Amino acid sequence: MPAKKTAKVSKPAKKLRKPQRAPGKTQTSISMSVSFMEWAWGKAASEGRSLSNWIEQLIRGLRDAE
């Protein structure tokens, strides 16, 4: 007679910690081509910035030019 299969006991789920953001900041998601994303990462890195900061500065410059 084959052995009975028993349900696996899973480990308790880890508590997910919400990432800390600076006051007034929020997280968003965008989609773009891989080649464009790699270009943007390269531009940000060449200026010593995070991609997020690079995009924010770019948008701020466009807004301020209006």
Indicate the range of 11-15, 40-44, 62-66 predicted with least confidence.
Answer: 11-15
Q: Are 54 and 39 in contact (CB under 8 A)?
A: no
Q: In total, how many domains does the chain have?
A: 1
Instruction: Please check whether residue 54 lies inside any domain of the structure.
Output: yes
What is the overall mean pLDDT for the chain? 86
Which of the two residues, 38 and 15, has the higher pLDDT score?
38
pLDDT score, position 21: 81
pLDDT score, position 10: 65
Instruction: Please check whether residue 17 lies inside any domain of the structure.
Output: no
Please, is 5 exposed, middle or buried when counting C-beta atoms within 10 Å of its C-beta (0-12, 13-18, 19+)? exposed
Instruction: Please check whether residue 48 lies inside any domain of the structure.
Output: yes
Instruction: Please check whether residue 49 lies inside any domain of the structure.
Output: yes
Domain that holds residue 49: 34-65
Instruction: Please check whether residue 41 lies inside any domain of the structure.
Output: yes
Task: Express each pLDDT in 17-45 by its tens digit.
Answer: 776 788 888 888 999 999 999 999 999 99
